[in-house]
Amino acid sequence: MQYNELLARRIVAEVARSSVDGGALQPVMLHEVARRLKINEASVEAGIYRAVAERWLIVEGSSLYRIRLTAAGQALSPPR
């Protein structure tokens, strides 16, 4: 598994863990995910690009990125 894929999977798992609000999936702030995972900015960008390319995540916004899972991302993340 390539490093970017590993980062992407870690980010998807964290988004899945932190985006549940009353049973509904909510977008989360990218910088919050990076902070919780202790990933630097360059690495988080590489992981996000890979996750978007794999269609696991959708990025919303222009400056303060909000990210949310796609159906494929939900299927990838472990069950709660």
Q: Residue 62 is part of a domain; what is its CATH number?
A: 1.10.10.10
* Per-residue pLDDT, 78: 63
Tell me the residue range of the domain where 47 lies: 3-76
Token look-up 């919050």 returns 32
* DSSP structural state of residue 79: P
Per-residue pLDDT of 1-15, as tens digits, reads 688 899 999 999 988
Whether the per-residue pLDDT at 79 is higher than 80: the answer is no
CA-to-CA distance for 1 and 69, rounded, in angstroms?
21
Split into its structural domains, the chain has a count of 1
Is the whole model's pTM more than 0.75, yes or no? yes
Burial state string for 40-51 with b = 16 or more CB within 10 A and e = fewer than 16: eeebbbbbbebb
35 or 23: whose pLDDT is higher? 35
